[in-house]
Structure 1
Amino acid sequence: MDRIAQIKAFLENSPGDSFLKHALALEYIKQQNDAAAKDIFEELLAAEPGYVGSYYHLGKLLERNGEHFAAIATYEKGMLVAKEARDMHAYSELQAAFEDLTD
């Protein structure tokens, strides 16, 4: 069974598990299926906006696909969430990605 099938099987038992959704989106990225990854990241962040790690990966995906304004907005939202959570490591990663894109 491939990793995507394994994660989907786990999600059948825990459909609201943000960690599993994040992992599934990353597996789709590895397979160059950005559309599926984007859908999952967006669904995850709509349900759990505090899941900080997904903002960075969604922003990078949007950058790769030429959606620079959406990437900037994603990084900005992620920075706000990271700051509220006092996750300064995530904040600095998001800020660096934001600055790379806006410089």
Structure 2
Amino acid sequence: MDRIARIHQLLQVTPKDNFLRHALALEYSKAGELAKARQLFEDILTEFPDYIGSYYHLGKLLEAMGEPALALEWYAKGMIAARKVGDLHAYSELQSVHDELAY
């Protein structure tokens, strides 16, 4: 069974498991199914804005999809969320990719 199928199987038991949803989005991204990956990342962050790790990956995905302005918006949202939960490491990473893309 491939990874995508296995994660789908696990999500049937726990459909709102953000670790699994995030992993599935990464697998979709690797498989070139960018729209599916994007939708999953956006769903995670809309429902659970404190799931900090997905901001970076969504931003990078949006950059790859040719949407840098939207990537900047998500990086900025991620910085706000990271600061709110006190995750200074994630904040620093998001700020770095934001600033690199903005300039």
* TM-score range relative to shorter protein: over 0.9
1:96 equivalenced with 2:76 (yes/no): no
Partner of 2:61: 61
**Between the two proteins, what is the percent identity of the paired residues?**
52
CA distance, structure 2, for counterparts of residue 86 and residue 20 of structure 1: 23
TM normalised by structure 2 equals: 0.98
TM normalised by structure 1 equals: 0.98
Report the Cα offset of residue 22 of structure 1.
0.3
CA distance, structure 1, for counterparts of residue 5 and residue 62 of structure 2: 25
CA distance, structure 2, for counterparts of residue 94 and residue 67 of structure 1: 17
Encode CA deviations 1:1-22: one digit per residue, 9 max, x unaligned: 0000000000000011011000
5+ residue gaps, structure 2: none
CA distance, structure 2, for counterparts of residue 48 and residue 102 of structure 1: 26
The 5-angstrom pairing of residues 31-46 of structure 1 reads: 31-46=31-46
Question: Residue type of the partner of 1:100?
Answer: E
CA distance, structure 2, for counterparts of residue 47 and residue 84 of structure 1: 16
Instruction: Give the SS at the match of 1:73.
Output: helix
Instruction: Give the SS at the match of 1:45.
Output: helix
CA distance, structure 2, for counterparts of residue 79 and residue 71 of structure 1: 12
- Hey, which bits of structure 1, 4+ residues long, moved more than 2 A? none
CA distance, structure 2, for counterparts of residue 32 and residue 97 of structure 1: 22
